[in-house]
């Protein structure tokens, strides 16, 4: 059985992530989506909230599992006995960072851990969690960026009552 890990912040999960998740889930027998607990960043959603949200938005994909991790990805992958990492590539700006990470992970794992890249579907090429947070924080429309259930939670975090606005 071939398992891969898709690690990331997912703060919040977007349609861009979901597109990669769906595609990767057809390539691997099992996909572990792993929420990175990055103590250096103050997130919008806690790790527990992000895990819960990811579980909800992927509940129709049977071979996906959601977990969280902290520390080195190579250590986590080795604990799980997984040797493939999935990452998404949007633009050339992602490339340098992702290449460096992939090569570092290969080095640290003594050649055991490889990274497989899925290129973004064009309709999501512009999409990032940072952009979504920024738009939402100003009360902008994020309905094309994240599932409705997620957008409601994001507006709640920013204390924005968009639904009420729509009803007026
Ligand atoms: P990180 O903070 O580790 O980059 P993210 O949650 O921002 O985590 O992203 C996780 C992965 O998903 C990364 O590989 C990123 O390039 C990819 N990704 C993010 N947004 C998109 C998108 N719109 N299309 C394709 N891949 C994406």
CA proximity to 11, closest of 39, 64, 51, 56:
51
* 129 CA closest ligand 1 atom index: 7
Strands (E), 19-163: 30-36, 64-69, 84-89, 114-119
Interval between CA 13 and ligand 1 midpoint (Å): 9
CA proximity to 82, closest of 113, 110, 109:
113
Give the DSSP H or E segment for 159.
none
Residue with CA closest to ligand 1 atom 21: 16
Q: Is 12 in the pocket of ligand 1 (CB under 6 A)?
A: no
Interval between CA 110 and ligand 1 midpoint (Å): 25
Q: Which CATH architecture has domain 3-125?
A: 3-Layer(aba) Sandwich (3.40)
Domain boundaries, the chain: 3-125
Contact of 154 with 136, CB cutoff 8 Å: yes
Distance CA 99, CA 53 (A): 29
Q: What is the pLDDT of residue 92?
A: 83
Q: What is the pLDDT of residue 164?
A: 45
Q: Is 85 in the pocket of ligand 1 (CB under 6 A)?
A: no
pLDDT one digit per residue (tens) for the chain, 168 residues: 999 999 999 999 999 999 999 999 999 999 999 999 988 889 999 999 999 999 999 999 999 999 999 999 999 999 999 999 999 999 888 999 999 999 999 999 999 999 999 999 999 999 999 999 999 999 999 999 999 999 999 999 999 987 544 543
Query: What digits encode the pLDDT tens for the residues 47-75?
Result: 999 999 999 999 999 999 999 999 999 99
Interval between CA 163 and ligand 1 midpoint (Å): 28
Query: What digits encode the pLDDT tens for the residues 28-43?
Result: 999 999 999 988 889 9
Q: What is the pLDDT of residue 68?
A: 97
Distance CA 64, CA 32 (A): 6
Q: Is 120 in the pocket of ligand 1 (CB under 6 A)?
A: yes
Distance CA 134, CA 47 (A): 20
């Amino acid at each position: 059985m071939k398992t891969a890990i898709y690690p990331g912040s997912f703060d919040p999960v977007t349609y861009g992530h979901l597109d990669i998740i769906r595609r990767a889930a057809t390539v691997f027998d099992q996909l572990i989506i792993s929420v990175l607990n990055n103590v250096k960043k103050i997130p919008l959603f806690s790790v527990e909230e992000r895990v819960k949200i990811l579980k909800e938005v992927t509940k129709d994909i049977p071979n996906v599992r959601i977990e969280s991790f902290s520390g080195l990805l190579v250590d986590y992958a080795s604990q799980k006995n997984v040797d493939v990492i999935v990452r998404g590539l949007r633009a050339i700006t992602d490339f340098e960072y992702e290449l460096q990470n992939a090569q570092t992970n290969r080095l640290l794992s003594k050649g055991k851990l490889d990274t497989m890249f899925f290129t973004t579907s064009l309709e999501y090429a512009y999409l990032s969690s940072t952009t979504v947070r920024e738009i939402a924080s100003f009360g902008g429309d994020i309905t094309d960026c994240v599932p409705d259930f997620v957008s409601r939670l994001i507006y709640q975090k920013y204390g924005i009552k968009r639904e009420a606005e729509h009803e007026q």
